[in-house]
Amino acid sequence: MSGRGRTGGGARGQTGGSRGGGRRGCKGARQPLSQQRPGTLRKRLAGSAGTKGTIRGAERAGGKRGAPPPTNKVPPRTPSTVINPRRPKPSERNHKQLGGIGAWESRPLAKYAAEVFRRLHTLYPNAYCELDYTSPWQLIVATVLSAQCTDKRVNLVTPALFAVYPTPAALAAAQQSHVEEIIKSTGFFRNKAKAIIGLAGAVHSLHHGEVPPRMADLITLPGVGRKTANVILGNAFAINDGVVVDTHVARLSHRIGLTFQKDPLRIEQDLMVLFPRKDWTMLAHLLIWHGRRICEARRPRCPECPLADICPSSLIA
Ligand code: SF4
């Protein structure tokens, strides 16, 4: 009996060693469960159950307490360097899209852009801002009034406005209802009257009645965004600080294939990368003139367009 028992025990031990100990052989043979101390199995089972329990517990905790509550809101943009240091900075992004920093100069897109500029400049060699003005102050007021309105209509209204209110101080003290009456035909006249009176007050009180020739100052004025500031800097001060992106510039930049962006600020960034700084003001004039005369919003007249053979949106086969 004892001999059979020893033999049987040995066989079980060897079998157990070859099954489990084979894999864990480097740590030595493990005792069969039947020979381990009574608490060991309980501890091992409790340990593994505890691990699973901990993971599930953490998942549950993560779902309920640790993680933020689900929301449909798009998280606000934060500086890219904080979230992902490998993401290009906003100033580098356009270079990246065009093939990497410095690479854009040799890219066909830059050559194409230069050819577009050359052809449009040949067509409109004397393109200019079509709003009438004699001073930066008059131009900034006319630009605010030109929102959702034609330049021709604004030019019909501004002489009467500047005859009654020639300076920022005079307009700042004006009755809103009277200003509304004068500018009524430009549309959105209540908002525009309020905007130009507020603008006049800020220019009068903060800048001694003079329109400041700096982007940083201009965009702090009420009703003045980057587009208006670029109009003032480029035309009243001959400073190329950016590209005016209005409805015509945005539409033509897409049609001609100069950008795929929709946000005006990003369109402006793409154009600033593609064209030399000295051409930024003229570029806006050329695109605006072309958009008004040939590449109209609803009916582009491609057969008359000098870009018809290179434009990706050309209707000419
Ligand atoms: S070819 Fe046609 S779509 Fe292209 S810029 Fe000229 S008018 Fe516009």
3-state secondary structure 216-251: HHHCCCCCCCHHHHHHHHHHHCCCCCCCCCCHHHHH
Ligand 1 pocket test: pick from 112, 120, 255, 298 the residue with the most ligand atoms within 8 Å of its Cβ: 255
CA of 253 to the centre of ligand 1 (A): 10
Task: Give the span between the Cα atoms of 274 and 292, in whole angstroms.
Answer: 23
> Which residues of the chain have a pLDDT value below 70?
1-107, 317
CA of 291 to the centre of ligand 1 (A): 9
Task: Give the span between the Cα atoms of 191 and 15, in whole angstroms.
Answer: 91
pLDDT at 53: 42
The atom number, within ligand 1, closest to the CA of 308 reads 1
Q: Is 295 in the pocket of ligand 1 (CB under 6 A)?
A: yes
Instruction: Output the six-digit token pair for 200.
Output: 């006049």
Q: Is 291 in the pocket of ligand 1 (CB under 6 A)?
A: no
Domain 136-236 has CATH 3.50.40.10: no
The atom number, within ligand 1, closest to the CA of 311 reads 4
pLDDT at 45: 46
Q: What is the pLDDT of residues 53-81, one digit of tens each?
A: 444 444 444 445 566 666 666 555 544 43
Task: Give the span between the Cα atoms of 43 and 305, in whole angstroms.
Answer: 85
pLDDT at 8: 39
Q: For 130, which DSSP code?
A: -
227 is catalytic: yes
Q: What is the pLDDT of residues 79-115, one digit of tens each?
A: 443 444 444 444 444 444 444 444 444 557 888 999 9
CA of 256 to the centre of ligand 1 (A): 7
246 is catalytic: yes
Domain boundaries, the chain: 136-236
pTM: 0.68
Element (H or E) spanning 145, and its range? helix 136-145
Q: What is the pLDDT of residues 140-157, one digit of tens each?
A: 999 999 999 999 999 999
Q: Is 255 in the pocket of ligand 1 (CB under 6 A)?
A: yes
Q: Which of 192, 227, 241, 279 is catalytic?
A: 227
User: Residue 113 burial by CB count (10 A; 0-12/13-18/19+): exposed, middle or buried?
Assistant: buried
**Residue 124 backbone dihedrals phi, psi, to 5 degrees:** -125, 75
Q: Taking the CA of residue 58 as centre, how many other CA atoms within 13 Å lie in the half-sphere pointing to its CB? A: 5
Task: Give the span between the Cα atoms of 17 and 166, in whole angstroms.
Answer: 102
User: Residue 146 burial by CB count (10 A; 0-12/13-18/19+): exposed, middle or buried?
Assistant: buried
Q: Which of 192, 241, 246, 279 is catalytic?
A: 246
Cα–chain-centroid distance for residue 306?
31
Residue bearing the CA closest to ligand 1, atom 2: 302
CB atoms within 10 A of CB 212: 19
